[in-house]
Amino acid sequence: MTLTPEQQAEIQEARAETRPTLRVTSEGMEKRLYVAHEVLDHGLVRVIDYMGDDNAITQAARVSYGKGTKHVTNDEGLIRYLMRHWHSTPFEMCEVKFHVKLPVFVARQWIRHRTANVNEYSARYSILDREFYIPAPEHLAAQSTVNNQGRGELLQGEEAQRVLDILRDDATRAYDHYEDMLSQDGQKGLARELARMNLPANVYTQWYWKVDLHNLFHFLRLRADTHAQYEIRAYAEVMCDIVRDWVPLAYGAFEDYRMGGVNLSGKGVEALKRRLAGEVVTQENSGMSKGEWREFEGVWG
């Protein structure tokens, strides 16, 4: 993705303008404001606004009006306690608004997280840019034979090139027809709200996405996971870096308990206890299904 000189000037102008405020600010997030972080081939993520920091979380948990005698170590311990015991409302005290540019098929996956406020670029009023997502060769894979939602081995050589040519040619042809239907050369042209229906799912759209930290953590837990689709994971990983700068204590707890932690079912706990006691536990005598046992072995061996 390459920003136009006009877009770069707009970002620099926004970053150059400062205002005195009594609001709590996050030094890490201030450095991120308005900066466009490139994602995929034409996409971006940037922070437009935010509210709160780590202190907002602990203050809400304590419902206090001052710092009192608390210390940073106390804040970290409290935040880790809140994360460990799945408390949600203190994390809802922090909010962030992102500007995201992304392919339509990623947006349709993303929008399934219905706990945010969204306003998307309207192709009824404006004409979409001639920008399409074309996968890099290292992300061009065949359908997985063991996971209906995943990818398998990479396509190679002529087959990979054939697929890339099809993707590029189809997207270009569809956009040519889109422009042709909108043509005003002495003719009325088709309404924009109708012409857009011919565009492919890899065309780029944009939106503002505002979410609180609790629901953002839920989004990142799912979409930054190694099992998530690469295209949406690329956005989630950039957002993880931003959140780490915004609320370092909360992100540290999230990374430890959610991204790096493991949830066990009652049967899983019992199987682990039996193993620790020296008993040989198998899928047949564990009470777990084959799928559950496979996941259990994936973590515990």
Q: What is the CA radius of gyration of the chain?
A: 24
Q: Is 111 annotated as a binding residue?
A: yes
Q: Is 214 annotated as a binding residue?
A: yes
CA nearest to 214, candidates 245, 256, 237, 243: 243
Collapsing DSSP to helix, strand or coil, 205 comes out as strand
- Contact residues for 289 (Cβ-Cβ < 8 A; gap 6+): none
Q: Is 209 annotated as a binding residue?
A: no
Q: Is 11 annotated as a binding residue?
A: no
Q: Is 124 annotated as a binding residue?
A: yes
Collapsing DSSP to helix, strand or coil, 153 comes out as strand
Give CA–CA dist 301/112, Å, rounded.
33
Give CA–CA dist 48/224, Å, rounded.
21
What type of residue is 220? Answer: L
Q: Is 114 annotated as a binding residue?
A: yes
Give CA–CA dist 191/120, Å, rounded.
19
Q: Is 120 annotated as a binding residue?
A: yes
Neighbouring C-alpha atoms within 13 Å toward the C-beta of 265: 11
Give CA–CA dist 177/169, Å, rounded.
12
User: 199 near 103, Cβ under 8 Å?
Assistant: no
Annotation marks residue 233 as catalytic? no
Give CA–CA dist 24/22, Å, rounded.
7
Q: Which of 32, 46, 223, 258 is catalytic?
A: 223
Q: Is 110 annotated as a binding residue?
A: yes
Q: Which two tokens stand for residue 69?
A: 């005698």
Q: Is 62 annotated as a binding residue?
A: no
Please report, for residues 200, 202, 203, the alpha-carbon distance to residue 129 in angstroms, rounded to integers and kept in the order given: 12, 12, 8
Q: Is 171 annotated as a binding residue?
A: no
* Stated length of the chain: 301
Q: Which positions make up the binding site for FAD?
A: 89, 112-114, 120, 212-214, 218
Active site residues: 223
Q: Which positions make up the binding site for dUMP?
A: 109-112, 120-124, 196, 223
Q: Which positions make up the binding site?
A: 89, 109-114, 120-124, 196, 212-214, 218, 223
